[in-house]
Amino acid sequence: MITQKTKYALKSLMTLGALEKGAALTIEEVSQRSGAPKRFLEHILLDLRKAGYLGARRGRAGGYFLIREPSKVSLGELLQQIDGPIAPLPCLSRRSYRRCEDCDDEETCQLRRVFGEIFWSYLLLIESLTLQDLLRDPVAAGKALGEPGAARNAAPDEIAGE
């Protein structure tokens, strides 16, 4: 499950990614367009800037703007940047590996085996998606972000698979 902070970050990136090249938005404008509260956005946009996703410009035409092409912004990388490790078990994390305290043998651990298979499938999918995918399909984007009403626009077989 993604956190609210991640949802706000994704909505903000989608808002900025939809702008014409060179255009920038103030925090207030990003807040209004994305629906994310301004008080959370200040920290989120600063973190995204430090991580190299956004640039900022001062002055009358100032604000935040996307510095990476939307097709180069990996959703998997972004999730890890904002929320930290996304592995269901610490022993499955590539960047923050830790041995499980109660595990005697990782090689024969059934939890690690089953959750590892699920997690690697999830990683393949999430790391193949980019911000461009969210910008390309508004219905899928809304569904991915858990927006109300998005399921109403989806095909019935898509809803059953949730």
Q: What is the pLDDT of residue 150?
A: 45
Q: Which residues contact 68 (CB under 8 A, 6 or more apart)?
A: 52, 53
Domain encompassing residue 112: 85-128
Block means of pLDDT (10 residues each) for the chain, length 162 residues? 91 92 92 92 94 92 91 92 86 83 85 89 90 78 48 38 36
- pTM of the full structure: 0.74
Beta strands in 17-62 (DSSP E): 54-57
Q: What is the pLDDT of residue 144?
A: 44
Q: Classify residue 29: in a domain, yes or no.
A: yes
Q: Classify residue 159: in a domain, yes or no.
A: no
Q: What is the DSSP letter of 152?
A: G
Q: How far apart are CA 43 and CA 118, in angstroms?
A: 32
Q: Collapse the DSSP code of 92 into the 3-class scheme (helix H, G, I; strand E, B; otherwise coil) and give the result.
A: helix
- Is there a single domain that holds both residue 90 and residue 141? no
Q: What is the pLDDT of residue 98?
A: 85
| Number of domains making up the chain | 2
The CATH number covering residue 137 comes to: 1.10.10.10
**Within 10 A of 54 (CB to CB), how many other CB atoms are there?**
23
Q: What is the pLDDT of residue 25?
A: 94
Q: Classify residue 111: in a domain, yes or no.
A: yes
Q: Which residues contact 76 (CB under 8 A, 6 or more apart)?
A: 86, 123, 126, 127, 129
Give the residue carrying structure tokens 């900025």: 16
Q: What is the pLDDT of residue 59?
A: 83
Q: Classify residue 91: in a domain, yes or no.
A: yes
- Best CA proximity match to 66, nearest among 137, 135, 140: 135
End-to-end CA distance of the chain: 13
